[in-house]
Amino acid sequence: MKEKNALGLPKRKKLLFVPVPKTGTHFVNKTLEKHQVDKWIKRLPGYYAHPTRADYADLFRKLRRKIANYKMFTVVRNPWDWHVSAYHYIKGDDGAEKSGIMLESEIFKDRTFRDYILSLKDTSAKITPNVFYIRQQSDWVLDYFGELTNITVIKQEDLEGNLRWFFEEEDIDVPVTASRPNASERDDYRSYYDDETREIVRSLHGRDIKFFGYEF
């Protein structure tokens, strides 16, 4: 049952987008550009491009705002496809102008995709501290108890269609364009993997696979 306001009418919650890197966040933000209700957050000192749910919770607590008044949603992506996207994004980011991770931008220039995946398990590998691609997507969206509660999860594989469904469910009048201008076209992600690299991603993203129901 929807919460009601003083007039007894359904009360619409404000939207709060939890942006997981490399899942179509640019498209979602552009779609919500004129309808985004959390713009005040982006103006705060210390805000960065991909705050986690925990980051939001801490921020709301400091500001004495109720996060329960917001409808949280996020977008996730198949972990194997996610790493293909991350690899190409960083490898093609000359001078780290987009990613801001200079170290990986230089290293990945001469690194194959297999090299990249193998490095994920190399504890001696040089990496930027807490860089996004060594984390699980669920790190952005789980609550303090490690549970997937009170947040709508949209899958990137049909981002436009799933966004339309979500907006309709929430009675939000936001048009969704038919195609994503920032989407990259490349070979099927499966073609990038061999047996070893496939299993490395499986072992590193066990929580994502469990919560979001993905398979290779």
Label residue 213 exposed, middle or buried (CB < 10 Å: 0-12, 13-18, 19+): exposed
**Predicted structure pTM score:** 0.86
CA 210/CA 74 separation, integer angstroms: 17
H-assigned helices in the chain = 25-31, 39-42, 53-63, 79-91, 102-107, 113-119, 138-141, 159-169, 195-204, 206-212
* Host domain of residue 171: 14-78+136-209
Is residue 28, in this structure, part of any structural domain at all? yes
Q: What is the pLDDT along the chain (216 residues), one digit of tens a residue?
A: 455 444 343 456 688 899 999 999 989 988 887 665 566 666 655 556 788 999 888 888 888 888 888 889 999 999 999 999 999 998 887 776 777 787 888 888 889 999 999 999 988 877 887 789 999 999 999 998 899 999 999 999 999 999 999 999 988 888 888 665 556 677 899 999 999 999 999 999 999 999 999 999
Burial 106-126 (b: 16+ CB within 10 A, else e): ebbeebebeebbebbeeeeee
Residue 70 is given by DSSP the state: E
Label residue 210 exposed, middle or buried (CB < 10 Å: 0-12, 13-18, 19+): exposed
Is residue 142, in this structure, part of any structural domain at all? yes
Is residue 96, in this structure, part of any structural domain at all? no
Tokens of 2: 């929807």
Is residue 90, in this structure, part of any structural domain at all? no
Is residue 88, in this structure, part of any structural domain at all? no
Looking at the structure of the chain, the number of domains it has is 1
120, 134 contact by CB (below 8 A):
yes
- List the one residue out of 211, 210, 212, 202 whose CA is nearest residue 83: 202
Is residue 171, in this structure, part of any structural domain at all? yes
Is residue 72, in this structure, part of any structural domain at all? yes
